[in-house]
Amino acid sequence: MNDSTSSVAPDSPLLPDFADELVGYTLTVNGSTRDVEAGWAGESLMYVLRERLGLAGAKNACEQGECGSCSVLVDDDLVCSCLVLAASVTGQQITTVEGLLADPVTGMSDVQAAFVSEGAVQCGFCTPGLIVSVHDLLEQNATPSELEIREAISGNLCRCTGYGRIFEAVNVAIRNRASGGAA
Amino acid sequence: MPVATPRSLEAALSALKAAPESQFLAGGTDFMVEVNAGHRRPGSVIALSRVPELRTITTSIDSSTMRIGAGVTYADFARPPIADAHPALAASARSVGSPQIRNAGTIGGNVGTASPAGDTLPVLAALDATIELMSVDGAVRMVPWREFFVGVKRTSRRPDELITAVHVPLLDSHQDYLKVGTRNAMVISVAGLALVVDFGGRNVRVGLGSVGPVPLRCEEAERWVVDHIDWDARTVPDPRSYETFGALVAEAAKPITDHRSTAEYRRHAVGVMAQRALMRLV
């Protein structure tokens, strides 16, 4: 965790080329108030979560909203955190994969546990984004059809699995919730 | 203050008055891509996502027009009341990006960015939509889409104005939006076509996207096909009409060759889409 500007590499494309753009603001992340000190006004939420707040769950791949690896919830809307201007979501509820309700014993949410049990993880890079998307789907629709599942994760690219085991994991999570398993 | 987060329309306009050079930020799906890549360095930003007045959808008292607030998202478009009233707008919004993108991106952003590939723009053209702008002094200006889009990513919005809504006529119509890209999902349009068959007004409107600097209409094709529809039976009596209609629409396109496709392919694609859309709707 590093919340000073020193975490920005000198050659970073995110480094401002003007000095007066450093701002401080406060975000609400996973229910906690987090101060962002001296951040550049143009920083994305993805960048701030990872580089300034030490929350590495949202992954940085495309930085253009194509891959879904940085998916988070902002006021219960599933969005790509790379396309959210961090300084614009002050006062809104930001939920990352780290903030999903976890089983106290396993430390995992039911969706995470289903991904593990079904082997829905290969390299794992896309997994946090998928977990947030699936979590969002099941909160809105406890009994999604296969088409609805496919559509819900259509913004999360996985280049390893071919998605078969991911669908299995979603179905396991659905069944577990229906039978009163861990939420 | 580099990033303003106004909670009312009045506050948004005050922020613009205080910092006239500000960049408006709607869903961020275009703007942040450029910022992340280092292509844009916003001096000051006015974030519009929490201006409640921009999120409203209302119907005029005479039920002739729907006013859609500029901050209404693509995800909202896929649901009633917009999806029921304007199926082509819903189809175009549903073709944009992923759920994540559709939760963020807005009609005001699509209109304001004015990319030739903006998916809702050919639909707004086909529906003869009007863009509503409000100046920092509170003056409202209604601009027909034809006068609003003036070039590639260029609009007639004045620097002291905010896009507040689009007004879309409510029609007794069949309508659809078709799009060609390199894959089925999450793709930028190589060519897009909106078709509105207005049974109430007995006219046909075709809007084209990605085949010109601004959204295009195909007046000649529209006029021709009106005489080749049996309006009482709601049929196309001569099946050869579909092909002719497609050819006329293809002629109206003004495509260029760029990194996404060739002019020839785009012209061909809009012809095929026109034909297909007419078969679906009539």
A105-150 pLDDT tens trace: 999 999 999 999 999 999 999 999 999 999 999 999 999 999 999 9
Mutate to test the interface with A, among B25, B32, B46, B96 (most CBs of A within 10 A): B32
A55-75 pLDDT tens trace: 999 999 999 999 999 999 999
B147-190 pLDDT tens trace: 999 999 999 999 999 999 999 999 999 999 999 998 887 889 99
- What average pLDDT score do residues A46-56 get? 97
B63-108 pLDDT tens trace: 999 999 999 999 999 999 999 999 999 999 999 999 999 999 999 9
- Work out the minimum CA distance from B44 to partner chain A, whole angstroms: 8
Residue A147's pLDDT is 96
- Work out the minimum CA distance from B21 to partner chain A, whole angstroms: 15
Q: How confident is the model at residue A4 (pLDDT cuts 50, 70, 90)?
A: very low
A89-104 pLDDT tens trace: 999 999 999 999 899 9
- What average pLDDT score do residues A33-38 get? 92
Element (DSSP H or E) covering residue B155: strand B154-155
What are the DSSP calls for chain A, one per residue? ---SGGGS-TT-TTS-SSGGGEEEEEEEETTEEEEEEEEETT-BHHHIIIIIS----S--S-SSSSS-TTEEEETTEEEEGGGSBGGG-TTSEEE-GGGS---TTT---HHHHHHHHTT--SS-SSHHHHHHHHHHHHHH-SS--HHHHHHHTTT---SSS-SHHHHHHHHHHHHHHHTT---
Which two three-digit tokens encode residue B94? 């549903």
Interface contact flag, B97 A68, Cβ < 8 Å: no
Residue B63's pLDDT is 94
Of B28, B41, B186, the CB nearest to A17: B41
Compute the mean pLDDT over every residue in chain A, rounded to the nearest whole number.
Answer: 89
Residue A167's pLDDT is 98
- Work out the minimum CA distance from A150 to partner chain B, whole angstroms: 11
Q: Tell me the torsion sign for CA atoms B4, A132, A93, A139.
A: positive
- What average pLDDT score do residues B140-146 get? 98
ipTM of the complex: 0.93
CB atoms closer than 10 angstroms to residue A125: 17
Which two three-digit tokens encode residue A13? 């494309």
Hey, is the C-beta of A133 within 8 angstroms of any chain B C-beta? Answer: yes
- Work out the minimum CA distance from A41 to partner chain B, whole angstroms: 6
Instruction: Classify burial at A176, counting beta carbons within 10 Å of its beta carbon; exposed 0-12, middle 13-18, buried 19 or more.
Output: middle
Q: How confident is the model at residue A181 (pLDDT cuts 50, 70, 90)?
A: low
Interface contact flag, A77 B47, Cβ < 8 Å: no
Residue A21's pLDDT is 60
Nearest residue in B to A46, CA atom: B36
Going by the DSSP 8-state scheme, the letter that residue B37 receives in this structure is T
Instruction: Please check the confidence at residue A12 and state whether its pLDDT lies above 80.
Output: no
Q: How confident is the model at residue A51 (pLDDT cuts 50, 70, 90)?
A: very high
Percent of chain B with pLDDT over 90: 95
Interface contact flag, B104 A41, Cβ < 8 Å: no
Percent of chain A with pLDDT over 90: 80
Q: How far does CA A130 lie from the centroid of its chain? A: 8
Residue B185's pLDDT is 79
- Residues 3-42 on B with a CB inside 8 Å of A are 3, 5, 25, 27-29, 32-33, 35-38, 40-42
Residue B60's pLDDT is 96
Tell me the pTM.
Answer: 0.93
Using a CB-CB cut-off of 8 Å, the residues of chain B touching A85 are: 3, 25, 28, 32, 35, 45, 47
CB atoms closer than 10 angstroms to residue A63: 22
Hey, is the C-beta of B138 within 8 angstroms of any chain A C-beta? Answer: no
Residue B42's pLDDT is 75
Instruction: Classify burial at B108, counting beta carbons within 10 Å of its beta carbon; exposed 0-12, middle 13-18, buried 19 or more.
Output: buried
Distances (CA, A) of A31 to A28, A92, A94, A96, B26: 6, 10, 8, 10, 25
